[in-house]
Amino acid sequence: MAVVALMAGLLQTGKGHSFLQKIGLSGTTANYTSLAFTDPQSLPTHLSRSIRMKLSFDVTNTSAGPRGYHWSLMLERAGRDKRLAAGEINVPAGNRLTVARTVRASCTKGRARMIVRLAAPAESIDFWMNCSPRKAGKP
Give residue limits of the domains in the chain: 1-29, 31-131
What region, left, alpha or beta, does residue 5 occupy, with left being phi > 0 and alpha being psi -120 to 50 degrees?
A: alpha
Domain 31-131 falls under CATH 2.60.40.10: yes
Q: Global pTM? A: 0.73
The percent of residues above 70 in pLDDT, for the chain, comes to 76
Range from 4-8, 64-68, 72-76 carrying the lowest mean pLDDT: 4-8
Instruction: Dump pLDDT digits (tens) for 74-96.
Output: 999 988 999 999 999 999 999 99
Secondary-structure breakdown of the chain: helix, strand, coil percentages, each rounded to the nearest 5:
15, 50, 35
In this prediction, residue 51 carries a pLDDT of 84
Instruction: Dump pLDDT digits (tens) for 25-53.
Output: 666 667 889 999 999 999 999 888 778 99
